[in-house]
Amino acid sequence: MTPKRFIIILFSQWLVFALLKAWFFDSRIFSNPGVQQVVYWLLTAVIVAVLVRRFEHINFLEAFIVVCTWTFVNLLLDLIFLSLHTGLSIFSSPEYWWGFVVMDVSIIFLHKKKHIKVRHDLHARH
């Protein structure tokens, strides 16, 4: 994971999630709000899995660094930019905060694990 790749993926994921949050939290898409929340969380998990796998194989420490950085930067940029569109009421929504939990859990469990690749390469040599 290079710093350039990390920053590019960081800002691309924020842009994608900002658009997703603006769409889901600023309008009613489904008639049932529960379905809308579940669809938002599923889309969050899928998008995070796709983006975190762009780092190739990373270890758990790097995954935790991604979790902390993405969460902090998303909160900061949402406060600066997204709140202009949706207002500060987005921060009082439990669905917004559960989105971060879904994002963090998806990063930890769905990244390409380096220890598995090392073990697989070791078995391939023997």
Walk along the chain (126 residues) in steps of 10 and give the mean pLDDT of each run.
Answer: 88 94 85 88 93 85 92 95 89 93 92 72 76
d(CA 2, CA 27): 37
Cα-to-chain-centroid distance, residue 27: 21
Residues of the domain holding 43: 3-125
Note whether 66 and 55 are within 8 A (CB).
yes
Q: What is the pLDDT of residue 56?
A: 81
Q: What pLDDT is recorded for position 39?
A: 93
**Cα(70)–Cα(125) distance, integer angstroms:** 37
Q: Which residue has the tokens 């995070």?
A: 48
Task: Give pLDDT, residue 126.
Answer: 72
Residue 33: what pLDDT? 84
The amino acid at residue 92 is S
Give the count of domains, the chain. 1
pLDDT value at position 112? 75
Collapse the DSSP code of 114 into the 3-class scheme (helix H, G, I; strand E, B; otherwise coil) and give the result: helix
Residue 31 is predicted with a pLDDT of 82
